[in-house]
Amino acid sequence: MSRTIHVLNGPNLNRLGKREPEIYGHTTLAEVEAMCRQAAGADTVVFRQTNWEGQLVEWIHEATDGDAAGIVINPAGLTFTSIPVLDALKMFGRPIIELHISNIHRREAIYHRSLVSTVATAVIAGLGARGYATAIRSMQDLLA
């Protein structure tokens, strides 16, 4: 049975491969999407990116009301600031994996307190872009 996994990406992740490659690497978001689809196998991946908080909230609502079996979310900077994203994730009620390309705990103090972690089933940080494929496989394990 095929499941649907939503992979939601927040602000500035459309700049992957160009933005601070010493932190985020050279992999583009299109390459990340391809990695996710390959890792998912027979499962369906809904892959999205937005620079707007409200759009991310709307996509979480769609996942909640739709057929999403789980959410993998890299809220980027909204991780640390967005009560609306947190509140939307609280409504999901299925597995949530919070994902960060860099190890947020090795960075500046402002990146150490994630609001999303308070509702996430699991957190993956510091594996670079390959963390996305790890997150997809981990989600599949959680759903098994």
pTM metric for this prediction: 0.95
The response to whether 51 counts as a known ligand-binding position is no
Pair of tokens at residue 119: 């509702």
Is 111 among the residues known to form the active site? no
102 is in an annotated binding site: yes
List 24, 26, 61, 111, catalytic entry: 24
H/E element holding 70? strand 68-74
Alpha helices in 16-82 (DSSP H): 21-24, 29-40, 53-65
- Give the chain's domains with CATH numbers: 9-98+119-135 (3.40.50.9100)
6 is catalytic: no
* pLDDT, one tens digit for every residue, the chain (144 residues): 679 999 999 999 999 999 888 888 899 999 999 999 999 999 999 999 999 999 999 999 999 999 999 999 999 999 998 999 999 999 999 999 999 998 888 777 777 789 999 999 999 999 999 999 999 999 999 999
